[in-house]
Structure 1
């Protein structure tokens, strides 16, 4: 009974179901509902995923700057790691024991670290500053480094000078750069820089960030990375790679090394503009020079053979030791010490690209106050800024400020030689005297307005190669007060240079446009290129010349310039040993 009753019920239900008339739409809706019901019964709901928290070190990190890293670059990297990639800040540690959190190197990372490239640094050849070679080829570079060439005379030096090879331990050089077996290996970047400075004939390959003015940046195939000359992307040797490594235990916790590299790239030198400041010595456009310009009816004549060299720089500076005016006629006396020329002579200065002139010297106001003020107006009308002279003492002590590739540079001018005209006073025009009491104040005031401050002194004793104690006292005081370097003029000979607290002092570059043709020394001089990378003096370059036809400087070869540099370096050595001028030339 029961069984039959169940069966009957089932059949009745099926009959009812199949007897229903369903539209296509109803059938689809019913099927979908059944499917969803089945899914809901077979799949359990999943909880939402918990996001991984960003890496946070939770303390100050440690970083080891290995010996391949120039100290200034290392310091910039340390300062740049501030709340980057979960690291609040870092402190440099002196060794790998205990293991630091981070390592910075131009070499290979040790085991236990995950690394990434921050960027590249052009391979830079540096030599002792007195090596008389400006540029070599890539082939010559390989021959020098391999020991095939052992004397600088083989690659153009005008005299024999043995090559002393140095290498920075741990630095990974580009492929194809051999090193001789007798190379002296040095353990740190600082140490190799000191070794190149002190060992005659030295040569090393280093990151560009290490080079500074105290060594020569030797060009390779015409590319000078420390000077910003040439296209480093076309360099003959592949660049060096700066790497940062993070301890694997931190990477396992989530430290993303790539976040570090993105913030540290701006510390590399290639991201900072380099500008070239060209400095020339004494310019007179009166007396014999004026006569030559009149003879040729050419006020550009004195500068024609130096114009290209001057125009290659970003900023061009000189000492103007005459009066340019039409208010007073130029004296006819060929022996006069009143140096005056016509207003038209300003055309030569603009043709040469001169942008800033110091007028703090003993001849700029020889023609009197009114012609001196007239000259200042003329120069300013031709977009030539001046320093060292003005309508009163306050103006005379004001710097000329030039913005070059984003850097503001202040040039101050001072004279210590008794002038032919007046010194400026509170209410009267003239030139600025050297005043050791107010000099620090002037430098401090200029520092508030500029990134670089450079005083330009007219000082010393004529026709000597050795600076006096008075010159050195003023130069050292200026640097102690914050000057970035010091320039000088007046002795009419190339004089010594000096490093004081790591900053450059140029005591005299000699005559530039002058008519003193009675001696070789007064006809010789050097134009100076100063290559500034931000506020770092990354390189310098002397361009020797000989004045011809009583007024026209012409660039000469290293062989022809041996006497010029012998005078400079012997004076430098005497100054270093505590010997001061004046001294008669042997």
Structure 2
């Protein structure tokens, strides 16, 4: 083909468009030139026939150069086409070569200076950090970060001691608990530390009755407690957590530090520096295991916190409930307020108002009807108990949130205004004051309707029933009090649990002035527990009765007289105030505070370790022990 192209080029070399170009020696084509070109072509063709093909398809055409390329008119000379090679003769296509991937080197792990003294904690922290990709500096090595900062200015440190300019991280809290019947209810942090260090060995040093103090801790906690509280020494009996709980429940004089998750009825939560585990958010707790971090930037700090499990835990803010005994503003109570209290019913609560207002929810048992002034019971020997409207605003000012009304005097009306008027007037007065109520109504359905209260994400439902005074029972079309029956109670508790986390059941029942319960009281509590009630509060006997716990549920059969004019006997002027704490899942625990009715029928909290407090609590716990003995528990 090359010869053909050359021939074509030679033939065209002397041609021009539009006329004949002059011929000179450089451009003249002779016959010998043509013969020479043809001979060259034949030689090339013969050589091509003897050479195996190396590529398939037509060869690439090369454009002529020189004058032929510049001419406006070209003569096409067809080149011979070589035969297509057989398929088997075609060479294999070369496989494509993948792009070479250059690996980027991993950055070096961030080095951590671990300053944890306790060996077991250090081991756990080290394992967590290494599992998250951090490296640990050898002891004595300079603190550095991933960028190689070895002067300590930007290095990463995890420490059990404060670091300059670094805020403490609250890792986990402790609560102080004691035997449920302990007569010391509050301590300072300093007193807690003195008990843990062994410098105080008897509760009398804290104002309690003389009793040996024994400290218990869960296994593995002693080093962290010592470090977290800054103790030089720690004297405690270490046991598995389950055994610590059992030891505190069964050992008078016991004290322990526990995680809040271990709180339960049977362990008395101690108030420390004003922090109450039954009521206050754990951010207020003065007893935390605290640790410190230093990191060069926010992401590194957060990565450390996540690796160590120190991320902010859900805030624990329990609902604290306070319940009282019978509030009966009638007869001589009213007369005394007018004569000595300047007609101001707020004076009644001077000795307990702060405690009532401090609770998240305060529930009072009111065993009277609220009636017009003309129908208030006078200071006479009468069993018709009706109180004045003026008592209700005082209840609201004292922080009372709800009243349980089902009782044997709930529809009383002196001078005979009738139970319908008494109940209606009571309900209207309470509604106007913004105090919730349950246990009475225009009919049985209304009387069985629960009070619903929500605080800090915890929902309570409160029900109230009368067990004995059938003459005041509400019916389908008549006003009165909610009558107890097993069927009603089970149905009401089930309905309440559908809209609340906990159900509290209030009963009015029992034999007056007696510490022993009646079989009908025992049966009512059993049914309430079986139905799912967390707490049962009883009243009516005008004295304290047993306070029991079963599988995380608590029942106080009677708390005694909170406000009443029965000053003819010591026990009818004494009562206990019950404090309980709840989170959404369970009842956390309870405590009792003894109270005595003073001059002007004012209740006043008294020292549990004082003479009056000891007398009240001895009666309460004695009745409880007798009840448990009768039940075989």
Same fold (TM over 0.5): yes
The CA deviation string for residues 32-72 of structure 1, in whole angstroms up to 9 with x for no partner, is xxxxxxxxxxxx965387999xxxxxxxxxxxxxxxxxxxx
Per-residue deviation, 1:467: 2.4
Match of 1:109 in 2: 124
Per-residue deviation, 1:305: 2.2
Contact 2:552-2:587 at 8 Å conserved across structures:
no
Answer with 319-328 or 385-394: which moved more.
319-328
Of residues 439, 445, 448, the one that matches 1:388 is 439
CA distance in 1, matches of 2:205, 2:309: 45
Per-residue deviation, 1:219: 2.9
Match of 2:242 in 1: 190
Q: For the structure 1 residues 449 and 50, does the alpha-carbon distance in structure 2 shift closer, same or farther, using more than 3 Å as the test?
A: farther
CA distance in 2, matches of 1:379, 1:409: 19
CA distance in 1, matches of 2:599, 2:282: 34
Per-residue deviation, 1:274: 1.6
Q: For the structure 1 residues 135 and 257, does the alpha-carbon distance in structure 2 shift closer, same or farther, using more than 3 Å as the test?
A: same
Match of 1:289 in 2: 333
Match of 1:47 in 2: 101
- The 5 A counterparts of 1:310-389 are 310-326=356-372, 329-332=375-378, 334-367=380-413, 368-389=419-440
Match of 1:472 in 2: 522
Answer with 218-227 or 435-444: which moved more.
218-227
Per-residue deviation, 1:173: 1.5
Q: For the structure 1 residues 524 and 372, does the alpha-carbon distance in structure 2 shift closer, same or farther, using more than 3 Å as the test?
A: same
5+ residue gaps, structure 2, are: 1-97, 107-119, 133-157, 159-168, 292-302, 414-418
Q: For the structure 1 residues 226 and 409, does the alpha-carbon distance in structure 2 shift closer, same or farther, using more than 3 Å as the test?
A: closer
Report the 3-state secondary structure (helix = DSSP H, G, I; strand = E; otherwise coil) of the residue aligned with 1:239: strand
Instruction: Give the number of aligned pairs.
Output: 463
Contact 1:356-1:385 at 8 Å conserved across structures:
yes
Per-residue deviation, 1:468: 2.7
Higher RCO structure, 1 or 2 (CA under 8 Å, sep 6+): 1
Q: For the structure 1 residues 347 and 258, does the alpha-carbon distance in structure 2 shift closer, same or farther, using more than 3 Å as the test?
A: closer
Report the 3-state secondary structure (helix = DSSP H, G, I; strand = E; otherwise coil) of the residue aligned with 1:577: helix
Per-residue deviation, 1:414: 0.4
Of residues 434, 438, 441, the one that matches 2:491 is 441
The CA deviation string for residues 362-416 of structure 1, in whole angstroms up to 9 with x for no partner, is 0111222212111111111211111111111011111011121222210000011
Are 1:217 and 2:252 matched, yes or no? no
Are 1:129 and 2:183 matched, yes or no? no
CA distance in 2, matches of 1:163, 1:456: 36
Report the 3-state secondary structure (helix = DSSP H, G, I; strand = E; otherwise coil) of the residue aligned with 2:390: helix
Match of 1:569 in 2: 621
- The 5 A counterparts of 1:24-63 are 46-47=100-101
CA distance in 1, matches of 2:309, 2:193: 34
Match of 1:411 in 2: 462
Per-residue deviation, 1:206: 1.7
Per-residue deviation, 1:261: 6.8
Match of 1:200 in 2: 252
CA distance in 2, matches of 1:227, 1:174: 27
Per-residue deviation, 1:442: 0.6
Per-residue deviation, 1:209: 2.2
Match of 1:276 in 2: 320
Q: TM-score, normalised by structure 1?
A: 0.73
Contact 2:279-2:359 at 8 Å conserved across structures:
no
Per-residue deviation, 1:230: 8.5
Contact 1:328-1:371 at 8 Å conserved across structures:
no
Report which of the two structures shows the higher radius of gyration computed on alpha carbons: 2
CA distance in 2, matches of 1:173, 1:458: 46
CA distance in 1, matches of 2:346, 2:125: 62
5+ residue gaps, structure 1, are: 1-43, 53-104, 242-255, 581-586
- The 5 A counterparts of 1:425-436 are 425-436=475-486
The CA deviation string for residues 236-292 of structure 1, in whole angstroms up to 9 with x for no partner, is x54268xxxxxxxxxxxxxx99667779854x5xx1322221111101111111211
Answer with 110-119 or 344-353: which moved more.
110-119
Contact 2:264-2:587 at 8 Å conserved across structures:
yes
Contact 2:305-2:311 at 8 Å conserved across structures:
no
CA distance in 2, matches of 1:539, 1:141: 20
Are 1:177 and 2:231 matched, yes or no? yes
Are 1:481 and 2:531 matched, yes or no? yes
CA distance in 2, matches of 1:110, 1:577: 50
The CA deviation string for residues 175-230 of structure 1, in whole angstroms up to 9 with x for no partner, is 2336655x33212x222111101111111112222222321122333333454278
Contact 1:222-1:230 at 8 Å conserved across structures:
no
The CA deviation string for residues 310-369 of structure 1, in whole angstroms up to 9 with x for no partner, is 111121111111111117522436111111123222222222221211110001112222
CA distance in 1, matches of 2:369, 2:255: 47
The CA deviation string for residues 407-434 of structure 1, in whole angstroms up to 9 with x for no partner, is 2210000011326x52100011100111
CA distance in 1, matches of 2:491, 2:308: 42
Match of 1:161 in 2: 211
Report the 3-state secondary structure (helix = DSSP H, G, I; strand = E; otherwise coil) of the residue aligned with 2:514: coil
Match of 1:142 in 2: 193
Per-residue deviation, 1:536: 2.6
CA distance in 2, matches of 1:178, 1:468: 54
Match of 2:140 in 1: none
